[in-house]
Structure 1
Amino acid sequence: MRSRNVFLQLVALMALCVASTISAKAEDTIKLVAFGDSLTAGYLLAPEDAFPVQLEKALRARGHDVTIVNAGVSGDTTSGGLSRLDWSVGEDVQGVILELGANDALRGLDPATTRANMDEMVRRLTERGVKVLVAGMLAPRNLGEEYAELYDPIFPEISQKYEALYYPFFLEGVAANPMLNLADGLHPTGEGVAVIVENILPSVEKLIDQIKAERASAE
């Protein structure tokens, strides 16, 4: 009977160790949220071709223990993003890739509103201790030079204000390339998303490095 009790205690101890290992592993995984519009959501693409999925796959291939939540909403403006920010980015999130603003420009919205919304989102995330990578946008040039002069500086200036990471143009290498965009000329194909991922990857790795450094300093 005693040997049986000892055996059961050993089994229980082993189960506890395994559970602890699994729990520790889960805590080690870095959780990012890709927070944006249709460019993030994967408009008209197969789920596996969406930006967050392709980015997570690329990061894992490079040895990063990371999960990326797709918080993209097609058609979203910075106002829409601000209204859903707090519940879209949970307390267990360490970093956010902020990709919003394209629809503001496409609709010709006042750049002052875009600036105020972007500022508030980055401020809230920074105050929560969430690391932010701002993915910049450029205004369509058919809106005129005056609009572009007000719109384009929003993203680098807010990034600098809050010491957030900054990637200059989310659609770098893809915009205006018919081979990498859907028929509407605005949304990337799966191949176009792959180009975006390749270009932004170093910036996302810097975001991960920041998160790891903060974790290490807290230990």
Structure 2
Amino acid sequence: MDTKFCRDCGEDRPLTEFTRNRNSRDGYAFYCGAHARRRHNAAKDRRDGKPKRRHPRDAVVPEGHKWCPDCEQILPFASFGRNAASKTGRTSYCKPCHNARGRRSKDAVGGERTYHLRRRYGITAAEADAMLATQGGVCAICRAAPAAHVDHDHDSGAVRALLCFNCNGGLGQFRDDPWLLRRAAFYVEHHMNEQGIARLRAAGTDDPDGPADASGCQ
């Protein structure tokens, strides 16, 4: 089989791997087809910048592997996170690159706390801190426990105040329904009164000021 030396491979390659070149002495290109494409693409990248498309160029991706556009490595599926929406069922970027992109996104909006607050409630960390200062650092309902949770209207999405874990959870359990909350308050007060009366009767009197003696005096 006829061969030709490829300068990039550093070895002889089959002549069929070389394209025709009228300007060369033997009528074939100086580099094999794979290295010729790489040189062409490298020159294009230097001139125009790297392509934005998310697939490898001039690379064979084996079964069960995927190419990461950021680190430009071909890695096994295990190196990528799960993504049911993609064709391969994996994320576009390997785990380290995916995490690095996430950190850059969070840093761009002022840090991880602002990133999550803005994403869920539409406020920044500075705005949350200002609310906390206005509330004196405690829950807007019980005014005792630290306010660690952002309370918002589930219909409109509007932020209301900062609450402690118990108060925030309580509103959620009662579905933010004022009628249910008032009935719950009435229920608790009613049974507290009933228990108070029961204790007085057990003590031998229905009078909270104490029993009267035989003369009618207390």
Fold similarity call, TM over 0.5: no
Identify, as 1 or 2, the structure richer in helix.
Answer: 1
- TM-score for the superposition, normalised by structure 1: 0.18
Q: Which of the two has higher C-alpha Rg?
A: 2
More contact order relative to length (CA 8 Å, sep ≥ 6): 1
After TM superposition, the score normalised by the length of structure 2 is: 0.18
